Amino acid sequence: MSILSLPRTIATVFALAVVLPLLGGCAADKQDTYKELPVEELYNNAMDLLKDEEYDKAAKAFDEVERQHPYSVWATKAQLMSAYSHYVHNKFDDAISSLDRFIQLHPGHKDVAYAYYLKALCYYEQIADVTRDQKMTDNALKSLQEVVDRFPNSKYARDAKLKVDLARDHLAGKEMAIGRWYQGQQQYLAAINRYRVVVDNFQTTTHVPEALERLTECYETLGLTQEARNTAAVLGFNYPGDQWYSDTYNLVEGITPDIPKPKQSGWFDWW
């Protein structure tokens, strides 16, 4: 007899008789999957996965440490290690999310400086070519500077300072790329604005000599002879042996006698 011809009650009982053993099997499988373990064992298993470069599994395993033993010392360590697992796997958004949570929950922890530093590295690793958007460079610069300001005596401050300089140089390079494009399009005022940003805001970067030389070119093209001479003078005084100054000297005649007297605050402030 077909099941379709059975009364509703008998059909229901039949269905339950078939389904319940299956549900029981699923429950057993799920119970087998979750297994409470000692915190040290969970943490060591996660470390083994990390060493084996099983980064996704490692991150989940570290999360499991915190889930099963949320009030242990190991749970706090596991939060950082989970973030690190995401970082080395280039899952920077997940790493940043985990680090923000760690910083919020443990602002006075002995490893909080490392959390700030690792967060800054997440942004730094995503810095794009100067032809692309520099949002990540801005984020990296702010985060790296925060490490320097908050933890000046930490072992991470020195590297953060170095990367701050590199990030600033990258931002200056972006301004230079835009300035060169405007100059190539004969939009000299727009180019001047970009080169001035480099000279005014990124004075310690490697792009300043070129910015000064190109400013001189733009001023000379626009017939602003005195501005060209002043700019060339600053370039000559600060970078006398630089190739960019040699190009400028050939462009602007008689610049040496007209070098103005700088203010005490520096050569880049008087013009």
Residue type, 214: R
Q: Which of 84, 107, 130 is the last residue of a domain?
A: 107
* Neighbouring C-beta atoms of residue 107, cutoff 10 Å: 9
Specify if 61 maps to a domain: yes
pLDDT of res. 252:
67
pLDDT of res. 133:
84
CATH number of the domain bearing residue 235: 1.25.40.10
Contacts for 103 with CB less than 8 Å, ≥ 6 apart: 112, 115, 116, 119
pLDDT of res. 218:
95
Specify if 128 maps to a domain: no
Specify if 185 maps to a domain: yes
Specify if 174 maps to a domain: yes
CA nearest neighbour of 80 among 57, 46, 111, 47 = 111
> Does pTM surpass 0.85?
no
Specify if 252 maps to a domain: yes
Are 183 and 214 in contact by the 8 Å Cβ rule? The answer is yes
* Structural domain count of the chain: 2
Are 230 and 271 in contact by the 8 Å Cβ rule? The answer is yes
* Neighbouring C-beta atoms of residue 163, cutoff 10 Å: 22
Name the β-bridge partners of 266.
Answer: 263
Residue 89 in 3-state DSSP?
Answer: coil
pLDDT of res. 247:
65
Point out the residues of the chain with pLDDT beneath 70: 1-34, 245-271
Query: Range of 232's domain?
Result: 170-258
φ, ψ of residue 48 to 5 degrees: the values are -65, -40
pLDDT of res. 239:
84
Specify if 49 maps to a domain: yes
Q: Which of 53, 85, 107 is the last residue of a domain?
A: 107
Return d(Cα 171, Cα 181) in angstroms, integer: 16
Residue 174 in 3-state DSSP?
Answer: helix
